[in-house]
Amino acid sequence: MSSIAPTSSDPLRALLLLLCAQVFFALLDASGKYLAADMGIPLIALIRHGGQVLLMLALLGPRLRLRLLRTAHPALQLLRGLVLSAFTLFFFTALKYLPQAEATAITFIAPLIVMLLAGPLLGEQVSRVRWIGATLGFVGMLVVVRPGTALALVGVVFALLTVACNVAFQLLTRKLAANDDSTTTLFVSALIATFVSALMLPLQDTWGGWPTRLDQTQLLLMAALGVLGIIGQWCFIRAYVWSSASFIAPLVYLQLSWSTLSGWWFFDQVPDALSGFGMLLIGGSGVAVMWVETHARRRST
């Protein structure tokens, strides 16, 4: 198992990997939102992360064994796992009270913060094009989540808590991608998140309760949580290997489009025309940054 070190920058490959991750994350969020209607969040988080751990042990454990735990930065891996567990608990709670598109939109304050922190914390140069793209994406988010929308306060609070976790998660992912194998990062983070989720189970009664029924759809979604999470996480990590955090940050706004489609398809939640404009602004700004920087790189070679 070789470590993943950034090779030559490839923005297009990073974009494709990020899009794949976003599709699986949107399906994961929709599954969690559906399950949250009948059960508490700690159990959903435990199934989501525990399923990923079991799947990785079954597929990779016999070959890699203890190499699954090999890391050059154990403290950062521990911190990433704790952040991931908090992210899951907070965001699934936000999804319980908010439409999927709106919950996702609120969390999109995070990429803008990453843009601000990528320079001083990661030593990356943030171009003017990236600043413009991030700003336009942020404006689009404000159009979607505008004053006067009837959003549940408790959902908004948990979405904002998710923002803080998202910022730390993105920065830690970029930091670890330079030295640790993506398989190790996936496994260690999921293992820590599984342990934390299990510790939170005593709060199940006050955090949504235990499920009163389990139909075939719920069982299928519970089984899919780990699969969706592991594929999405792998693609997300690989995207950071091929580009910088400040480049990926604007592109992360495209997640809102997938979340909107998922909310419409599974929950019949259709944003109004103004929200649709904001989502187009969000997605368009991210794609524009990718296009401009790709062509600028080609001209310089």
Domains in the chain, number: 1
Q: Are 82 and 45 in contact (CB under 8 A)?
A: no
Nearest to 167 by CA among 220, 211, 214, 107: 107
Nearest to 168 by CA among 218, 102, 118, 101: 118
The reply to whether 3 falls in a domain is no
171-209 pLDDT, tens digit each: 888 788 778 888 888 899 999 999 999 999 999 988 888
45-104 pLDDT, tens digit each: 999 999 999 989 998 999 988 889 989 899 999 999 999 999 999 999 999 998 898 888
153-171 pLDDT, tens digit each: 788 889 989 989 988 998 8
The reply to whether 191 falls in a domain is yes
**pLDDT of 41 strictly over 90:** yes
The reply to whether 67 falls in a domain is yes
The reply to whether 198 falls in a domain is yes
**Residues near 65 by Cβ (< 8 Å), separated by ≥ 6?**
none
The reply to whether 1 falls in a domain is no
Q: Which tokens is 143 given?
A: 């159009």
The reply to whether 135 falls in a domain is yes
Whether the full predicted model's pTM is greater than 0.75, yes or no, is: yes
Q: Percentages helix, strand, coil for the chain, rounded to the nearest 5?
A: 80, 0, 20
The Cα–Cα gap between 113 and 111 comes to 5
pLDDT given for residue 250 in this prediction: 67
- For the segment 8-16, the average pLDDT, to the nearest whole number, is 79
pLDDT given for residue 187 in this prediction: 92
Domain region containing 37: 11-300
The reply to whether 147 falls in a domain is yes
Supply the mean pLDDT for the chain.
84
What residue type is 39 in one-letter code? M
pLDDT given for residue 62 in this prediction: 92
The reply to whether 4 falls in a domain is no
- Radius of gyration, alpha carbons of the chain: 19
